[in-house]
Structure 1
Amino acid sequence: MQYISRALYRDQALTAIRAAILDGDLAPGTPVKDVELAERLGLSRTPVREALARLTEEGLVESKPHSYTRITPLDTAPVRDAHAVIQTMHALAARLAVPTMGEAELAAMRAANGRFATALAAGDVAAALAADDEFHDVAVRGSGNFAVIATIERYTPLVRRLERLRFAAPTGRHSVAVHDEITAACAAGDADGAARLVERNWATLADLLEEN
């Protein structure tokens, strides 16, 4: 009989619950109970409790002893803090990446923005998120700065729900034109201009924080 470690079950629960939060299946403010999640996932309560503890550290779940455990609302300080960090890190990534960008990188950005526009027009939020990630990832990876990359990876889940809301709304289509402007600035070698445009692009999520 093959032994399956508790850590593997915990990681399975963590992946599934995080995905449910980011996809909106577990909406902001939703109360969660480990016994119900365990039944839903076909797991015991222990790995689910461990997964919820990890998600609490990530800021996606919050709890008050003897009171509640729930999906973190969008208007909490951790979400606002994460947004500010993500916005700054993406702008810094652009500033660092532009001097080394070539035609391959610019082509990748244009192709990603094309897929982004197509997905938005079709109302495919998941595909829009993936294409938006691909667009911004060109600069993030091109920055060559491991701290920038790690910070963005660490805090992106906290703002992912805001991105989903933005791309599900008609106003999200404005990002297509901003992406074009960012690409043009990169092609012109204007690192500061690209950074300002990227920062402005991410600033639109702050409007959703005020609405929720």
Structure 2
Amino acid sequence: MQAIKRSTLNQKTYKILLDMLFSSEIPMGSQLEERELSDKLGVSRTPLRDAISQLVREGLVEYRPYQGNFVKHWNAKQVEDLYTVRKSLEMLAIQLAIPKLSNEDIDAIADILEQAHKALEADDLAAFGACDSQFHQLIIHKTGNETLINSLERLSLQIQMVRTLANRDPYVVKRTSYERPRILQALRDRDSEQAAFLMGEHIEGVKESVVNQIRSAEKPQIV
């Protein structure tokens, strides 16, 4: 029973830290100060360290010898690499999913996109991001291809982390709201080639936004 309670506490601590990373409450590049976080979350160092170790394994936090743990600060090359792989896998996923999507599945996707639109109108980027994740996950899981599903799930947290940068760009958010209905129509038409093209175009646009933001931040400031 004690082991179960400890495991539950570890996962709760992990989930809180994950939310803090995704919301940028703990910004990229920041050091995770154990004493400060322990006091803030009201937990001991043990579950906190276990949660941080899990984030390190998932590639969201980096351990630096003699310095500590830091939220991963993505550079432009890392984002390009991540999104190049994501684009290829998700274009394949939507092609594999279309023959297996029922009318009910497509209606569910339409509902998710409607919720995303409402979140956008309310300027609720957290809810918008959650809908975005649901949209992609539904399509991915409908492929029935375990290798593909597992590959994208391993990348999903890193993608969500980087996506927080894209959601700061009003142009990308508006473009996304325009692109999604076109993808939905391709799904309704069972046009796998068009759906894959539109998905690739969508992911490429997000990648360009994030890379541009990172490169702008890396430019030396002229005083």
2:191 corresponds to: 190
1:180 corresponds to: 181
1:141-180 map, 5 Å: 141-171=141-171, 172-180=173-181
Native 8 Å contact 1:182 1:198 kept in 2: yes
Identical-residue share of aligned pairs (%): 24
2:40 corresponds to: 40
1:83 corresponds to: 83
Question: Cα deviations across residues 151-198 of structure 1 (Å, max 9, x unaligned)?
Answer: 222211112133233234321111122111111222222212211211
In 2, Cα distance between equivalents of 1:163 and 1:186: 24
1:134-145 map, 5 Å: 134-145=134-145
In 2, Cα distance between equivalents of 1:133 and 1:91: 16
Change (3 A) 1:125 1:152: same
In 2, Cα distance between equivalents of 1:113 and 1:98: 17
1:3 matched to 2:2 = yes
CA shift, 1:94, in A, is 0.3
1:201 matched to 2:202 = yes
- Which runs of 5 or more structure 2 residues have no equivalent in the other structure? 215-223
Change (3 A) 1:12 1:79: farther
CA shift, 1:80, in A, is 4.5
Provide the aligned length of Structure 1 versus Structure 2: 211
| TM-score, structure 1 normalization | 0.88
Native 8 Å contact 1:113 1:179 kept in 2: yes
Native 8 Å contact 2:94 2:196 kept in 1: yes
Which residue identity lines up with residue 177 of structure 2 in the other structure? V
Change (3 A) 1:8 1:130: closer
Which residue identity lines up with residue 160 of structure 1 in the other structure? Q
Question: Cα deviations across residues 15-45 of structure 1 (Å, max 9, x unaligned)?
Answer: 2211211121111011112222222222221
Native 8 Å contact 1:99 1:189 kept in 2: yes
CA shift, 1:77, in A, is 5.8
- Which runs of 5 or more structure 1 residues have no equivalent in the other structure? none
Native 8 Å contact 1:167 1:173 kept in 2: no
In 1, Cα distance between equivalents of 2:84 and 2:108: 26
1:37-116 map, 5 Å: 37-75=37-75, 79-116=79-116
1:130 corresponds to: 130
Change (3 A) 1:168 1:117: farther
Native 8 Å contact 2:99 2:190 kept in 1: yes
Which residue identity lines up with residue 37 of structure 1 in the other structure? L
Which residue identity lines up with residue 211 of structure 2 in the other structure? L
Which residue identity lines up with residue 48 of structure 2 in the other structure? V
In 2, Cα distance between equivalents of 1:130 and 1:173: 16
Native 8 Å contact 1:109 1:135 kept in 2: yes
2:25 corresponds to: 25
| TM-score, structure 2 normalization | 0.84
